Amino acid sequence: MIPTFVFGWPTGKESGDFLALDLGGTNLRVCLVTLQGEGKFEMTQTKYRLTEEQKHDEGQKLFDFCAECLKTFIDTNYTDGEGKSTLKPGETLPLGFTFSYPCVQERIDHGELIRWTKGFGALNTEGRDVAEMFRNSIAKYEIPVTMTAIINDTTGTLIASSYVNPKTKIAVIFGTGCNAAYMENVKDIEKIKSLGIDDKAQMAINCEWGAFDSFEHEHLPRTKYDVTVDETSNKPGEQAFEKLISGRYLGEILRLVICELIDEGVLFLGQDTYKLETPYVFETAFLSLMESDPTDELLMIIGIFTHFFAVETTLAERQFFRALAMLIGRRAARLSACGIAAIVSKMGYLDEGCLVGADGSLYNKYPGFAERVHEGLIDIFGDKGRNIVTHHAEDGSGVGSAIIAAMTKVRRDAGLYPNV
């Protein structure tokens, strides 16, 4: 439960041009967001692919790469027809840095990485202030930006969703990783009691719920496949809740079940199954496709197994794989409902109801994920569970980051930095 130093909700009137750099999982993204007030905005963005090596190389090199991409983006977007910069001499652009890993923050533009998640493992970064590391890279490449805020994707999603729909009280990400954010009363945040922040203020909390039950494994029921996923990961013991839910792991869970049945001689007898034996080759996107296969013969599933893994399947096997995908996907959604229910209960949102802004590849692409979350909420709360409604959120890592950069600028200009 991490205090984010994002104070309160946006007014919807935030306006101006802001940059956002999003380092969150699969891609690196640079966005230019023009906030137009009245909850409206426009956005231009460029995505850059991150290699597996970059995720495990020296951390400073990763931030250097971020800075290089940022420089290319600015050179492209702030240059006139004759190749001259359109920025005034000495002008810097405000930048929100969306860094979607658990960080302890002491102020909005500081963030000490607690641990990498989602398979990242860049060296010499854990325990260090990533804002400062990124600032060093910005200085090295002489990029005309001022990094005003470091933001988790869930906090960005909370703020972006509220900017366009003020009924949003909670934000969740179900993607490569999973997590949630909500707005808390400062008076109830023990961790920042000593800072003497105005008691009437509110602050967003980055729950980092992916870490729930890590190491102890006391609360979440795990199968032997979950235990293997955990023990063979680059971070054994950590992110216990996330490993049951997020897109990075669901395909791997299914693959482990298949491998066990191959070893027992139940599946694919006499076929060469080596392609299924590499960890993480079975993508979570395959589970989505398997669940949404509309044909009686399950032709999509035939396609996946022949094309990617060079094995033939019988109809009975395909029906079994689909049933398995449904179990894994459904469990992920229902556990996610538990997380949402915990925040709803803590904040007393059940009677009046609230919107939950949700984003991430699982939520957006996995068939029936949202419906299963809603089913779970009704099982937990009874009919009142219908008051809690998830909806596809605005782009928190881009737009949300820009809005938070804008909110921070307003507060700084009013002399309210670092705290209110």
- Minimum CB distance to ligand BGC smaller for 116 or for 268: 116
Residue 24 makes contact with ligand BGC by CB under 6 A:
yes
Residue 111 makes contact with ligand BGC by CB under 6 A:
no
Taking the C-alpha atoms of residue 382 and residue 107, their distance in angstroms, rounded to an integer, is 40
The pair phi, psi for residue 223, each rounded to 5°, is -90, 175
Catalytic residue among 22, 109, 115, 248: 115
Site for ligand BGC in 231-290 (CB under 6 A): 242
- Minimum CB distance to ligand BGC smaller for 55 or for 412: 55
Site for ligand BGC in 134-153 (CB under 6 A): 152-153
- Minimum CB distance to ligand BGC smaller for 10 or for 24: 24
Taking the C-alpha atoms of residue 266 and residue 4, their distance in angstroms, rounded to an integer, is 50
CB 137 within 8 A of CB 60: yes
From the list 80-88, 122-130, 169-177, 220-228, the region that binds ligand BGC by CB under 6 A is 169-177
- Minimum CB distance to ligand BGC smaller for 103 or for 259: 103
Catalytic residue among 22, 64, 129, 153: 153
Please say if 161 is a catalytic residue: no
Catalytic residue among 22, 29, 64, 100: 100
CB 117 within 8 A of CB 100: no
The pair phi, psi for residue 261, each rounded to 5°, is -70, -30
Please say if 100 is a catalytic residue: yes
Residue 100 makes contact with ligand BGC by CB under 6 A:
yes
Which one, of 123, 120, 101, lies nearest residue 112 by Cα? 101
Residue 361 makes contact with ligand BGC by CB under 6 A:
no
Please say if 411 is a catalytic residue: no
- Our CA dihedral for 106, 109, 114, 118, rounded to 10 degrees, sits at 150
CB 259 within 8 A of CB 278: no
Taking the C-alpha atoms of residue 300 and residue 283, their distance in angstroms, rounded to an integer, is 14
Q: Given 3-state DSSP classes, what are the helix, strand and coil percentages for the chain, each rounded to the nearest 5?
A: 45, 20, 35
Q: How far is the CB of 127 from ligand BGC (least distance, A)?
A: 15
Residue 59 makes contact with ligand BGC by CB under 6 A:
no
Q: How far is the CB of 131 from ligand BGC (least distance, A)?
A: 15
C-alpha distances in angstroms, 135 versus 104, 138, 141, 149, 415? Answer: 17, 5, 10, 11, 23
Q: 22, 208, 230, 293: which one contacts ligand BGC (CB under 6 A)? A: 208
Interacting residue ranges for ligand BGC, rule: CB under 6 A:
24, 100-102, 117-118, 152-154, 173, 175, 177-179, 208, 210, 242
Which residues are catalytic, by number? 100, 115, 153
